[in-house]
Amino acid sequence: MGLRPRARSGGEINRLGPRGTPTGLRLGPRGTPTGLRLGPRGTPTGLRLGPRGTPTGLRLGPRGTPTGLRLGLWILCFSWFCFTAHAQMKIPPETVQFWANILSVQLRETTTRYSGANILQKKLKDVESIIKIVDIDGRDQVRDFAEDMERMLGSKMKSVKRLAESAEDADLYHDFNKTLEFDYYNSMLVNTADEDGNFIELGGEFPLEKNKHFNNLPVNTQQSDVQVPTNVYNKDAYILNGIYWSEALNDVFMNNFQKDPTLTWQYFGSSSGFFRIYPGIKWTPDSNGVAAFDCRNRNWYIQAATSPKDIIIVVDISGSMKGLKMTIAKHTINTILDTLGENDFVNVIAYTDYVRYVEPCFKGTLVQADLDNREHFKVLVDELHVKGEGKVAKAMKESFKILNEAATKGQGSLCNQAIMLITDGAMEDFKDVFEEFNWPDRRVRLFTYLIGREMTFADNTKWIACNNKGYYTHISTLADVQENVMEYLHVLSRPMVINHNHDIIWTEAYMDTVLFATKAQSLLLMTTVAMPVFSKKKETLSHGILLGVVGSDIPLLEVMKLAPRYRLGPHGYAFLITNNGYILAHPDLRPLYKEGKTLKPKPNYNSVDLAEVEWEDIDEILRTAMVKGEMGTLSLNVRASVDKAKRPLFLTNDYFYTTINDTPFSFGMVLTRGHGQLMFMGTVSVEEGLHDLTSPDLSISNEWTYCETDIDPHHRKYSQLQAVIRYLQGKEPDLECDEVLLQQTLFDAVVTAPLESYWQAIMLNASGMEMGVETAFLGTRSGLIRLTRYTGIETRVAKKFLTPADKDNLFTVDHFPLWYRLAMENPPGRFIYYIPVEDKDNRDKTGVSKYVIATTAVTVSSGGKMAMAGAIGVQMSLEMLEKRLWTIAFQPADTDCTDVEGVCPLSCQSTDVNCFLVDSNGFIIVSKERSEVGRFFGEVDGSVMAALIKSGMYKKVSLYDYQGMCRSGHSHSSSARPLLSPFYGLAAVIKWFFSHMLMFLLEFNFCGLWHSDYVVDAHKAKRTDALQPCDTEYPGFMLDNSIKETNSLLKCGRCQKMFVVQAVPDSNLVLMVVQADCDCSRQYSSITLEPKEVKYNASVKCNRMKSQKVRRRPKSCHAYHPKENAKDCGGASEISLSVALFLASLATSLALRRWT
């Protein structure tokens, strides 16, 4: 076999003869060059050395030079011999090939016998006459799925509309009573008793019962209850009146739930701060023991209350803003940013005597206020420092120019426009600026936030807001920020309220971990449908009073169940995106990341663009068409990956997409060429199928919807298999079931039934059982799994395999089992072997828990078409495969080595060689070192892996992850003192104590003495090694099945390493035998699968951040109404801290500053 040359990177490959020996040098039976015999001490016979190591019989001149040419030739020959003799191991390729062939035969016998693959394939052959294979029409199917989703989401919108109408009527007929006394169920206090066992005020008895529909949370489906944020007085007159009239919503909540039992949480968020939720729950306080949740801060509330908006935040960073003022100003900016969503646009400008863009890259433009950009602004705002004199006129002109240009060019939201001025005083006259840019239309609103306790410039600051249809607020403490910032939303909502435009909004995907902070609540992505609630009272019509927002949560998992997995195939999938191109649901969306052992939501989990997941669509044809709401198809050759993204696949995907009417969403689905576009149907009787469905070795996916068990509460207790059986038996005729899926399941149950008796017969033949085969299993396209356990749980290595906790190997709502998907990409009848990839943090270095899975596809044919029917396989212990290989890869001492050149006898147990069994993706299945099993071979031996890549036996596949998390590597440093001194340390501690005490005093609000405890979350210091979103590139490897064998000799420093690689026939395995005593780690680095961050230069990064991708704007906009009462433009807030206390604290602060 010819050998491929290797690049001389770190070493050369000697040219080998036909059997792999260096040309010009023949090896004897022990690997020594013929014609050169060694004596007992390793010296060439016929050449004796004197006492000083010089050859006897050779004369040296007076200076030690040889006296003849023969000595020079001898030295050259001897030096060459010493250099090469160490590396002359010869591994016979024919021996390795012989081992691979035997291993292939034995593995195939074992897997075929214990899996029953031939039995199942024969049974499928027998029923081909009653099978019909049909092509899936992707266009019709995507339309059917979308219509089902429209009906489901439409029913949620109707429920929300009923809530809004009832709330407005209840308020209309309620007269405000400032002396109202009313006890209600406070969700924080319900079922709470005092020391005497009596229920505390607002904490009466509130029956709660666990409910499967609500994630097994204890709930009360007969009553709603109310949550009030800690910073809102729970018996305030406005709170009590709102809670009183909103009691009318209880009947509507329950009526909605009866009409649509798939509804989850329904709620009303009041503009005064309380939150009524159905069903009622016991609210779990946050880690600080308070109810920090405020419904008015939630995205669903803000989006429903206002139309899209363009916001320019202008902040004063002149010298007068130092200290606490700057802290309050930064908190105000961050709070404003938190009120923005993906339909809004923003920029932040700081000013002194000149204008400074917080992000220079965004100069003169507006950027989408998605999560990435908002968080980016927050980081930059945190780094602002005060200096100079404040002149706001230039900043105002710049802001107007940005907004005017955006409107002219059709950029931004094309709806509301506003400037937020954050300052401690505006001394200039702005009349000329407003006359030039904003009067008389007043198209741009101005909101002013006066920071600090100084009231000198209050009138001027208020004049700016009142003359530009805005609102003025005075913020003197951090505690004032939240309430005062929210005022601008009420102003922007006025035109909508006066017009009585009840626009329904849908939010992007989000995880509501705050709302239900309980262990029983899984982190489900959801969307919210919400609608504003207005006051219909005539006397307040021009004020445009927003009463609040009603809404309901829809778990996206439930929406995606309407695109059932069985109609998409093993590699197919469905997905949803928003009008901005962000993903709502997609099987490749990974919203969580691992920090240590804790799973956390990624900072940008709900602003992942479709182009970042479907990254093979380089021209963004798919994204653009879907965002525009078009219907169509697209075909792409894609690189996919499975098994924790370590195993690459090449697929051809056909994309089908359409819009979902009356929502901002678009729906798409993927069918994979080959096996994803065919479906076969077979007919069996219900009686026959029922008999086989009750088999103890059979299960169906509990995450698929065979029958809808969530509509009738009485059906929720049934598993999917129980529901199917009861429906087919006629015991539950009211169940809504998928008749096509049921027929497929019945057919699969009947066809696979012979495997039950086959497996049982093997188990009964105890003498014929082979130790180490633990489980036989099969799966079909209908989500059906049959399995048998050949060993008991106490001796089984793979205790978790195919248990309910083993999600990777089960049929779930978003994927087929891993073994099923891998089998589909290999020729039917050929078994593939693999060890599941382990997380680096959970890697088992002992190998005790490792096991091997062998699986193959089974097919059915009809009418000249072939469809995949399922996959079948076995799971065996690693020890079994090891014993099999070591037994085969061994030549006893009496082996006939007459015709063998090289090491003979050869054994993998020898210390001279290392033997590996490696799969088609380069992962080690068997090694002498247990700690190497499951690892990528390139990590263990980079030299051989490099040679295999160069020879083409393994091909590198570049993959990309635009949802990666990388160590930031940034540290926030400041100037340090030149010397270490105990004084500075003590001073720092004292300063820290008094400064925090000062902050407490300045933030303290006496109303908190009679309100609930008020707590402001502290700003946590940023970790320097924190994980941040990033783009990464990582490799995967695939075996080229056309190359069956290769061998080579690698030169590594003072030695040479020989290796032989042989494919194991009828499998995805290769057998590697590598010389063990030649270390090439200095010349060849290891090859890893670790992702590498894709670094962008400043220019590219800037362009990426401010790029405006195609998006579909919301249909409605309410930015103006002629009857709006612009005179309602705010006033100074009450100062809640005594002047004496303020002056004393300020003096303390100044003294500390001078001291330190």
| CA–CA gap between residue 302 and residue 335 (Å, rounded) | 13
For 852-889, b/e burial (b = at least 16 CB within 10 A) is bbbbbbbbbebeeebbbbbbbbbbbbbbbbbebbeebb
| Residue 1152 binned pLDDT confidence (cut-offs 50, 70, 90) | very low
CB atoms within 10 A of CB 69: 8
Q: What tokens does 625 get?
A: 């068409």
276 strand-pairing partners: 226, 268
pLDDT of residue 426: 76
Report how far residue 768's alpha carbon sits from residue 765's, in angstroms, rounded to the nearest whole number.
6
DSSP, collapsed to helix, strand or coil, labels residue 577 as strand
Q: Are strands 444-451 and 471-475 parallel, antiparallel or unpaired?
A: parallel
What is the H or E stretch that residue 965 is in? strand 954-967
Structure confidence at residue 779 as a pLDDT band (50, 70, 90): very high
pLDDT band at 195 (very low <50, low <70, confident <90, very high): confident
User: Is the sign of the CA dihedral 28, 31, 35, 38 positive or negative?
Assistant: negative
Residue the block writes with tokens 């193959």: 856
pLDDT tens digits for 718-755?
Answer: 999 999 999 999 999 999 999 999 999 999 999 999 99
Indicate the SS3 state at residue 1012: coil
| CB-CB neighbours of 706 under 10 Å | 24
Residue 860 has pLDDT above 70, yes or no: yes
* Residue carrying structure tokens 């609630």: 533
Place of tokens 């005594």: 1138
pLDDT of residue 145: 98
More confident residue, 441 or 429: 441
- Return the pLDDT at 1122: 86
616-649 pLDDT tens trace: 999 999 999 999 999 999 999 999 999 989 999 9
Chain-centre distance for alpha carbon 275? 30
Give the helix, strand, coil percentages of the chain, each rounded to 5: 35, 25, 45
How big is the chain, counted in residues? 1156
The string of pLDDT tens digits covering residues 97-127 is: 999 999 999 999 999 999 999 999 999 999 9
Closest CA to 704 of 660, 733, 742: 742
**Look-up of token digits 């505390």:** 200
Percent of the chain scored above 90 by pLDDT? 65
Q: CA dihedral in degrees (184, 190, 192, 194; nearest 10)? A: 0
d(CA 667, CA 324): 49
What is the C-alpha to C-alpha distance for residues 724 and 722, in angstroms, rounded to an integer? Answer: 5
Measure the CA–CA gap between 682 and 126, rounded to whole angstroms. 12
Band (pLDDT 50/70/90 cuts) for residue 63 is very low
Contacts with 692 (C-beta within 8 Å, 6 or more apart), sequence order: 698, 746, 749, 750, 752, 753
Report helix, strand or coil for 357: strand
pLDDT of 705 over the 80 cut: yes
271 is written with which tokens?
Answer: 């503009």
Rounded distance between C-alpha atoms, residue 664 and residue 505, angstroms: 8
Contact 662, 1146 (CB under 8 A): no
Per-residue pLDDT, 1105: 84
Are 263 and 159 in contact by the 8 Å Cβ rule? The answer is yes
Q: What is the C-alpha radius of gyration for the chain, rounded to an integer number of angstroms?
A: 37
Q: How confident is the model at residue 928 (pLDDT cuts 50, 70, 90)?
A: very high
Can you say whether the dihedral through the CA atoms of 156, 160, 165, 169 is positive or negative?
positive
Nearest C-alpha neighbor of 331 from the set 304, 345, 313: 313
- Provide mean pLDDT across the span 362-385: 94
pLDDT tens profile 583-606: 999 999 998 888 888 888 888 888
Across 857-876, average pLDDT:
94
- pLDDT band at 82; cut points 50, 70, 90: very low
Helices marked H in 268-323 — which ranges?
A: 299-305
Q: Which residue has the tokens 């009417």?
A: 661
Asked if residue 875 lies in contact with residue 796, where contact means CB atoms within 8 angstroms, the answer is: no
Q: How far apart are CA 832 and CA 819, in angstroms?
A: 9
First-to-last C-alpha distance (Å) of the chain: 80
List, in sequence order, the alpha helices (H) in 346-480.
Answer: 371-382, 392-409, 431-437, 458-466
Least confident of 628-632, 658-662, 855-859, 860-864: 860-864
Residue that wins the pLDDT comparison between 1154 and 280? 280
Dist CA 297 CA 295 (whole Å)? 5
Among positive and negative, which fits the CA dihedral 1065, 1066, 1070, 1073?
Answer: negative
Range among 205-214, 774-783, 1118-1127, 1139-1148 with highest mean pLDDT value: 774-783
Residue-level pLDDT at 711: 86
153 pLDDT more than 50: yes
Name the band, by pLDDT with cuts 50, 70 and 90, for residue 323: very high
Task: Give me the CATH topology for the region 566-676.
Answer: Beta-Lactamase (3.30.450)
- The span from the CA of 80 to the CA of 502, in Å, is 91
At residue 472, the pLDDT reads 96
DSSP structure class, residue 496: H
pLDDT class of 842 with cuts at 50, 70, 90: low
Please give the C-alpha separations between residue 513 and each of 298, 510, 521, 557, in angstroms, as whole numbers: 12, 9, 8, 16
Lowest mean pLDDT among 567-571, 763-767, 774-778, 961-965: 763-767
Say if residue 1154's pLDDT is above 80. no
The pTM score is 0.84
Q: How far apart are CA 515 and CA 1143, in angstroms?
A: 40
- Mean pLDDT over each residue of the chain, to the nearest integer: 85
Q: How far is Cα 964 from Cα 974, in angstroms, rounded to an integer?
A: 30
Torsion of CA 840, 841, 842, 843, to 10 degrees: 40
pLDDT digits (tens, 9 = 90+) for 273-314: 999 999 999 998 877 778 888 999 999 999 999 999 999 999
Structure tokens at 934: 């499951």
> Is the confidence at residue 15, as pLDDT, over 50?
no
Bridge-based pairing of strands 924-927 and 913-918 is antiparallel
Spatial neighbors of 620 by CB under 8 A, at least 6 apart, are 611, 1109, 1110
Locate 744 and state its tokens: 């497929």
Domain ranges of the chain: 105-136+681-888, 151-299+504-555, 307-482, 566-676, 913-967+1029-1093
The fold of the 307-482 domain, in CATH, is Rossmann fold (3.40.50)
Sort 4 into a burial class: Cβ within 10 Å, 0-12 / 13-18 / 19+: middle
Beta carbons of 278 and 224 less than 8 angstroms apart? yes
Amino acid, single-letter form, for residue 800: K
User: 756 exposed, middle or buried (CB, 10 Å; 0-12, 13-18, 19+)?
Assistant: middle
DSSP-based three-state secondary structure for 457: coil
Residue 3, pLDDT > 50, answer no
